[in-house]
Amino acid sequence: MSIQPSTSPAAVVTLRPVSFGHPDAIALNDRVQLEYAERYGDGGDATYLDPTMFDRPRGLYLIAYDEQGTPLATGGWRAQDENEEGYADGDAELKRMYVTPEARGLGLARRILAELEADARAAGRTRMVLETGTKQPEAIALYASSGYEECTKFGHYRFDELSRCYAKALRQG
């Protein structure tokens, strides 16, 4: 995968594909779980994620690194097909989008989202789906401004009143 670094006012940031089991992925996941717990007053996201769920060709996990090798942001997609949790054939599910507080405002979430959409499209997925919550207004704003529309709820939190699900068609070609 050839992902070109981009220059931001703060630094050069590079996106690197890694395993969800990579130490930096684990550290960033721990940070996002703490943020979920602070926002929702619980133990974080209980959705089961096996590191192999993001392995190619049925997924991709990215970390954004600064010039010093500090992990700043993360996100991944995993393939989903029709099942009892409400997914549809051809779905790519967005997971673990997170930007560290010190790197917010640099456009990293939008950049990771665009790369994940392009990769899922290239893998033949037809729709990107995601679940977020009402206590994450900045995430909802990002997705809405990126063409996502609220859809029928799916996944682990489909019965939770704070959950919101969004989808975007990944047009081929």
- 8-54 confidence digits (pLDDT tens): 444 599 999 999 999 999 999 999 999 999 999 887 788 888 989 99
Q: Are 121 and 143 in contact, with CB atoms under 8 Å apart?
A: no
In this prediction, residue 112 carries a pLDDT of 98
Q: Are 133 and 163 in contact, with CB atoms under 8 Å apart?
A: yes
* Mean pLDDT, residues 145-172 taken together: 94
In this prediction, residue 44 carries a pLDDT of 72
φ, ψ of residue 47 to 5 degrees: the values are -60, 130
Computed over every residue of the chain, the mean pLDDT equals 92
156: left (phi over 0), alpha (psi -120 to 50) or beta: alpha
For residues 35 and 37, give the distance between their C-alpha atoms in angstroms, rounded to a whole number: 5
Q: Residue 16 forms beta bridges with which residues?
A: 63
Domain extents in the chain = 6-169
Amino acid identity, position 92: A
CATH architecture label of 6-169 = 3-Layer(aba) Sandwich (3.40)
